[in-house]
Every structure is written in C-alpha cells, then in structure tokens.
Amino acid sequence: MLTAWASRGGVGSGGSMAQTYDIVVVGAGIVGLATARELRRRHRGLAIAVVEKESGPGRHQSGHNSGVLHAGVYYKPGSLKAQLCVRGKAAMERFATESGIEYETCGKLIVAIDDSELGRLAELEQRGLANGVAGLRMVGPEEMREIEPHVAGVRALHVPGTGIIDYGRVVDVLAAQLRAAGVDLHFGRRVIGLDRRAGTVVIRTSQGDLVTRRVVSCAGLQSDRVARLDSEPEVGIVPFRGDYYTLTPAARHLCRGLIYPVPDPALPFLGVHFTRRIDGSVWAGPNAVLATAREGYRRRDLDLRDLVGTVRQRGFHRMVRREWRTGAREVWRDVVKRAYLKDLQRYVPALAAHHLQFGPSGVRAQAIAGNGSLVDDFTLAVSPDSVHVLNAPSPAATASLAIASRLVDEVDRAFTLTAATAIAPPP
C-alpha cells in the first residue's frame, strides 16, 4: 500500500538531496493538471507534484486548440472516447460554473453538402444517439438556415449541446487550484531520465532531480519520448500541424455557432470547419499537414531531431504509403489560399478571400502504431510504478476531467494507493 511519504528530501542520482514525493505527474497540459487535481481529491495525504519543461501550464496542445466543448457525436459507441467525452463535457461545464469560467452552449451543424454524404450523416446521428447525446435532430435546408442563415447543404445534423470555452483559462484555474491544494508545480524542468533506485524513481530533469514513489506521464507531444525513458512504447508520435484562418470582424456574422463537415470515417481529423470562439472571433480550419517540428507553430519551423524521429518510425512509412493522396491534398490546401477558400465556400458560399486573415496554428500529437494505423482511442502503458498516457486525442480537452478520473482509477489499481486517504471521486 502506498501511504503518505512524510519526508520531502531524498538522495538524487548524483548523491545530492532531491525533493521527494509520493507521485509526480509529468506534463502540465490540461490532462496532466486534471490528473493531479483528481489525485489530490482522492488522496489528500500524499505528496504530489507536477513537472513541466515549459515556463507555464498549457503551452502546447491545451493552449492551441479551437476551444470546442464536444458533445460526443463522432465516436464509436462503447469506445473510451465516447464514454469520456459525454461525461467529461458535463464535468467541464460544472467545473467552469463553479470556477467562474465563461462558456457558451452555441450548438453545431454537421452539414451534408450533397446526397452522397447522407448515409454517413445518418450514421453519425445513430452514433450520437447511442452515446447519449441529447437533443440531436436532422434538419433540412430551411431549418438549417434558421440556425445558420449563410450555410449551404442538403441536410444537417443539429447538435444543440455543443459548446465553446477558453481552455487556456481552464488550465490557468487548474494550476492555481493545485497550488492552493499544496501540489508543487515545477516549471522549466525538462525530464531527461527515469532511474529506479531502492523502490523509488529518480526523475532526472534539466534543473535537478525529483525522487518519487510513482510516476504518471501526461506528456502530450512528447509522450512517446518520456515513455521511452522507461521502456519501448508500442506507438510513436507523429505531429500534424493545423493552420487556421480567422474571419474579419465584418464577416463574423457568416457563422453564428459551429459549422462542421461530415467527416471521413477512415481518418481521425474532422476536416475544415467554422468555429465561433468565446471572445466572438471566428476561426476557419484547420487543415492537417505533417509538422516538421513537434512544437513548431509556423510553416518555417524545423527541428531536425523531430523530423528525423518521424521519418525513422516504421509506422510512419506505412501510413504514408496508405494516405499519401490525402496528405498531398492537405499540403496543397495549406499553401494555396484559394484551395482553402474553395473548401470553406462549400459550406458558406458568401465567404470571400478578403474575409480571411491568417490565424493561429496548433500541433496535434497523433499516435501511430507499427503497422501504420492512426491510433484513434486513448492509450496507456502501465508498469508497477509508472503510468504513461501514450495517446490522448481529441476530445481530450473536453473530456480531460473524465480522463483524469479514469486514469486515477488505473493508478489506484496499478499502485495500490492506500484507501485510508481516499475520498469519493466526482460523479
């Protein structure tokens, strides 16, 4: 049983004193912070810390996403994605209300442009119903335009419960709450090694060692690298950059809420879409192109270590052979504005080139298996003293609080944490 470790000092790998904890969470993105929060809720007597290489929380995927609260329509019934999205959205809305974080339930239209997409749209409706998504209904052109006056298409699935939120604000509040609850946050410390010694794990970082009984890694874009310090993970991360345009203030009226295409079921990307943000701006995109730097948010960003690491992955070559046509289309749309505009105009014909401004970009950590398949669900690697989150794809931000609850269930089983310090998990 893992009871609280009273000492806050221990011997590091170099023989010097190091800070000592019961559990250290690697990664201060939204999943890592939510996990630390859930650990503190259940195990108030344990010494817990979060270690992060950046100077603050949520600097990558958590701070570079579109801010959508997904309702749970897209995901295969029974999958972790489906279960955790529906529960996680409700938990995130409760958290936002309790914490004074603004969010809005603006609704979404998933639009079929022509009859060839109606079968897939009907399939999405069935998925959503099976996942318990409330209020779903098919609407024809007249009702579509009552919801979104400038949209085109033959039919749409209306998802009224979809919402928007600022996940950067969520991350900041989580970090503040963890500090107030006595969780240590170590920023600016890159994890460079995991060494076992006398029943402990010495976490070697760029700013000295931390000693812990157990490790939970939620490292996002670096998840496979952190896991590789421990053992060889079954999947590797390939980064995909998504570039957005923003609509000029004069064009924001063209989108009231969220307008999405019917997605290709063979790919984990949703396609270019329109997203109203909590600040009133509207984003259009993203595309999905191979990123030449895991943390590169500009087209010119290049990290040779990242690029070589991607190219050397066996699964990457198999993926390229299978999906090269899709990749070529994404690259073309990325570099040719009129191609991007043409795709957007399929859904909002009134959109013109002068309505679009270059916007932000994000990088998605896409896990790829050795056979080249894109891993589409949450994936963990568990050992007696560590749990590594290898894949936390969208809707990870929406589902983060539910992911944390599920992850800490796994931690409790793997690490046999003491029941004496446990409190009831959230509903």
Last residue of a domain, one of 332, 352, 369: 369
Give pLDDT, residue 383: 87
Mean pLDDT for the stretch of residues 258-265? 90
**Tokens representing residue 421 in the block:** 């310090």
State the Cα–Cα distance between residues 93 and 194, nearest whole angstrom: 36
**pLDDT (tens digit per residue) in 84-136:** 999 999 999 999 999 999 999 999 999 999 999 999 999 999 999 999 999 99
Q: What is the DSSP letter of 374?
A: B
Expressed as residue numbers, the domain containing 343 is 236-369
**pLDDT (tens digit per residue) in 21-58:** 999 999 999 999 999 999 999 999 999 999 999 999 99
Contacts (Cβ under 8 Å, ≥6 apart) of 147: 107, 109, 139, 156, 158, 256, 257
| Closest of 306, 356, 310, 309 to residue 336, by C-alpha | 356
Last residue of a domain, one of 369, 386, 407: 369
**How many Cβ atoms sit within 10 Å of the Cβ of residue 419?**
10
172 and 208 belong to one structural domain: yes
244 and 286 belong to one structural domain: yes
Pairing of strands 184-187, 191-197: unpaired
In a domain, 154, yes or no: no
**Contact in structure between 26 and 217 (CB atoms under 8 Å):** yes
Mean pLDDT for the stretch of residues 60-65? 95
**Tokens representing residue 14 in the block:** 């170099």
Last residue of a domain, one of 369, 388, 404: 369
State the Cα–Cα distance between residues 400 and 36, nearest whole angstrom: 11
In a domain, 326, yes or no: yes
46 and 18 belong to one structural domain: yes
Which pLDDT band holds residue 225 (cuts at 50, 70, 90)?
very high
Give pLDDT, residue 207: 95
381 and 397 belong to one structural domain: yes
Mean pLDDT for the stretch of residues 183-210? 96
In a domain, 230, yes or no: yes
307 has a pLDDT exceeding 80: yes
189 and 308 belong to one structural domain: no
Give pLDDT, residue 386: 94
Mean pLDDT for the stretch of residues 309-338? 83
Give pLDDT, residue 417: 60
Give pLDDT, residue 6: 39
In degrees rounded to 5, what are phi and psi of residue 257? -135, -110
State the Cα–Cα distance between residues 212 and 195, nearest whole angstrom: 10
State the Cα–Cα distance between residues 215 and 200, nearest whole angstrom: 10
Output helix, strand, coil percentages for the chain, rounded to the nearest 5: 35, 30, 35
Give pLDDT, residue 332: 72
Beta bridge partners of 103: 165
In a domain, 128, yes or no: no
Domain count, the chain: 2
189 and 287 belong to one structural domain: no
**pLDDT (tens digit per residue) in 8-17:** 444 444 444 5
Tell me, rounded to whole angstroms, the distance of Cα 297 from its chain centroid: 16
278 has a pLDDT exceeding 50: yes
In a domain, 162, yes or no: no
Q: Which of 3-12, 76-85, 180-189, 283-292 has the lowest mean pLDDT?
A: 3-12
198 and 241 belong to one structural domain: no
253 and 353 belong to one structural domain: yes
210 and 240 belong to one structural domain: no
Give pLDDT, residue 22: 95
In a domain, 251, yes or no: yes
Q: What is the DSSP letter of 417?
A: B
Mean pLDDT for the stretch of residues 383-394? 92
| Closest of 198, 178, 203, 228 to residue 44, by C-alpha | 178
Q: Please report, for the domain that includes residue 345, its CATH number.
A: 3.30.9
Give pLDDT, residue 323: 78
393 and 301 belong to one structural domain: no
Residue type, 202: V
